[in-house]
Structure 1
């Protein structure tokens, strides 16, 4: 048997063993996500006043309290699992860091701009909304998709932090360039975008900063008081399931908030969904292939691909509502983002796991993840 065949067989055996240990919640995750999306849409459509109540609950202006709670519950267990003492192995990987920055801040916005103008030349509001989605790089749910696909947790933490810094520094400037300057150069319609650096920084600090600090302090204090063995073998298994509970709760709330808008304009949703489907496929596949091509391990190629494909829909929706209004086409385009992103990236988790056999197994890949 060749070494490649042996590696493939070993990977398949490991995948089977891991699959056998999955809980019912994990094993049928796509089903639960589909149920959560449907439940949210139905609640938003048919429960009188629910949308108003959910919209009235805010951490601060533009930041929904229910979504923040769901994201905190969802992200905390994963960030508590991160080995923060290993982050230096990621920051020294120049191939990974440079590739991520180029894909997220040069390629991603450019791809979304091209797709928005190609698919929606006659619908300027939806087109603008999609461009805003393309500018908002993912800093939240990508951590979950990466973990489900057995990506590198430490690399995900570093890339998400890097995206957060660039989001604060570059979002407003890129919005001005892609909505005003570039269309002007090309002889296309231009659109203004009013968004402050503080509004972006606030979103980053709330949605990422709080769960990141909580995860770091949990590991630091837990290991110091009880030891690493207790922390990883006793504590983490207890909090781990809350990731998926938080994910399902967030999906229900998100779709309940916009259930009426989505279900009342199905043809518009389809028009917006088409470029999004192409975008997620192109960004994920291109980044995964690049990771393989430049010699990254499976774990880091996976992290690179999901951080490239995901978007910060919370920020995109908040910016669209603040600039154009809650009933605007730009806001609807932002809402359709997660409607398409959630099921597509869940499907790509399984594609990623199936593609693991193309990589030489690393020592960490063969370990059972907590």
Structure 2
């Protein structure tokens, strides 16, 4: 925010968002259409790619997710957690919503809508998978997007860093037990191998790699760090779009068969 000396008024600098990001909704919709189309046209190829997995974790998708989230995780400074006490009320609200309200409310909604209200519209053998997917989604705070929204609304940087850092630290330890609890309450068998491998690949590895890279880059200079972040940004977005294409290509035929 800049003060305007002549008028004494407070002028707020409008956050800048790129053309690509501004039209991200259309890019996502396009990737969905492309993915479904490719999955229908080349089912054998995408079935082969989809089978490259261990404990139901697909490794091509895992690599793309690393490329997508590591640039975001590079921004996280875990030393910012010392600022938690400065923003205790805001952090408290965030933690309560992320780790109490959201996971349990989503599990409840999944039970109401998937298990009961819409059960007749879904294949019986897939109901547990839908519920498990919603639980997994609810239990993982999308901390990377916090940077985006905070930047767009002119949020307080230290507060943003501290709340992202503490949420990611909690996710390292709380994600697997919380998901296991909610799956158990939903009478779904807990796939422990998949759960722990997912935590390792999608939480621990990206966090460790990003923090090592962060220290190496900052040891050179802040300009080097900022330059690398700028270069990685389009790679992160591209990985997001390719991930969407793959995910919908894997299910292309099924989506068309059961729209």
Please classify the TM superposition score into its range, dividing by the shorter chain length.
0.7 to 0.9
Q: Pick the aligned partner of 1:258 from 242, 251, 258.
A: 251
C-alpha deviation, 1:132, in angstroms: 1.4
Structure 1 distance, partners of 2:81, 2:33, is: 39
Q: In the TM superposition, what is the alpha-carbon distance from 1:94 to its structure 2 partner?
A: 2.9
| TM, length-normalised to structure 2 | 0.79
Question: 5+ residue gaps in structure 2?
Answer: 1-9, 152-159
Q: Counterparts of 1:137 and 1:265 in 2: how far apart (Å)?
A: 22
Q: Report the aligned-residue RMSD.
A: 2.6
Per-residue CA deviation, residues 277-305 of structure 1 (Å, 9 max, x unaligned), is: xxxxxxxxxxxxxxxxxxxxxxxxxxxxx
Aligned partners of 1:138 and 1:158: how far apart in 2? 17
Counterpart check, 1:211 vs 2:206: yes
How big is each residue's C-alpha offset from its partner over 1:141-194, in whole Å with a ceiling of 9 and x where there is no partner? 924433332363552343244245323113233222223xxxxxxxxxxxxx33
Q: What is the deviation of 1:76?
A: 0.9
Q: Equivalent residues in 2 for 1:40-189 (5 A)?
A: 40-58=35-53, 60-90=54-84, 93-122=91-120, 123=122, 124-137=124-137, 142-150=142-150, 152-179=160-187
Q: C-alpha offsets along residues 31-78 of structure 1, whole Å, 9 cap, x if unaligned?
A: 2211111111111111141222212323x3311111111101100110
> Map of 1:292-311 to 2, 5 A cutoff?
none
**Matches of 1:128 and 1:254, distance apart in 2:** 19
Q: Aligned residue for 2:6?
A: none
Task: Give the C-alpha shift of residue 202 in structure 1.
Answer: 1.1
Residues 1:237 and 2:238 are matched in the alignment: no
Query: How many angstroms apart in 2 are the aligned matches of 1:107 and 1:228?
Result: 42
Cα distance in 1 between the residues matched to 2:43 and 2:100: 46
In 1, the alpha carbon distance for the partners of 2:235 and 2:39 equals 24
1:325-364 correspondence runs (5 A): none
* 1:136/1:33 CA distance change after superposition, 3 Å: same
Q: Aligned pair count?
A: 236
Higher relative contact order (CA 8 A, sep 6+): 2
Q: Distance in 1 between matches of 2:231 and 2:47?
A: 35
Contact 1:71 1:247 in 2 (8 A): yes
Instruction: Give the CA deviation at 1:87.
Output: 2.5
Q: Residue 174 and residue 139 in structure 1: after superposition, are their counterparts in 2 closer, same or farther (change >3 A)?
A: closer
Q: 1:168 to 1:141 in 2, by over 3 A?
A: closer
